[in-house]
């Protein structure tokens, strides 16, 4: 199944200058575990996850705690490639990109939901 049918879109993103506490509030308000960090044109610069925000809570901007470079998965990828990225890299979520522009986010839960739906038909 193509990634673009499973992803959450549009992606909620933050910029490197976003305060850590603002990113944490955004993440918790939406129930996310990861936020893509983009530049002004939506190009993927990095990601920030719960652990990074906890470590940096109250300390400056997202750019100081984000993981960069970040791996994204192409919008046209299939669920097998997605499984390889999520499980192989041991990550819970990954930005979905069209070129280098972030268009969504996909999680392990999205992949699991897809597998269950396919199995139950």
- pLDDT at position 58, please? 73
Distance between CA 48 and CA 57 in Å, rounded?
A: 12
- Per residue in 9-62, pLDDT (tens digit) is 899 999 999 999 999 999 999 989 899 999 999 999 999 999 999 988 877 999
* Residue 79: band (very low, low, confident or very high) from pLDDT cuts 50, 70, 90: confident
Domains of the chain: 3-120 (3.10.580.10)
pLDDT tens-digit series, residues 97-106 = 999 899 999 9
pLDDT at 120: 82
Q: How far apart are CA 82 and CA 20, in angstroms?
A: 28
């Amino acid at each position: 199944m193509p990634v673009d049918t499973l992803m959450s879109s549009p992606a909620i993103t933050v910029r490197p200058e976003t305060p850590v506490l603002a990113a944490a509030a955004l993440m918790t308000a939406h129930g996310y575990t990861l936020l893509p960090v983009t530049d002004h044109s939506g190009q993927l610069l990095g990601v920030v996850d719960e652990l990074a925000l906890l470590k940096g809570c109250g300390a400056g901007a997202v750019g100081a705690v984000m993981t960069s470079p970040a791996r994204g998965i192409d919008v046209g990828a299939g669920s097998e490639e997605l499984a390889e990225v999520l499980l192989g890299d041991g990550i819970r979520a990954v930005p979905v990109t069209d070129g280098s522009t972030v268009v969504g986010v996909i999680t392990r839960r999205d992949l699991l939901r897809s597998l269950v739906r396919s199995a139950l038909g």
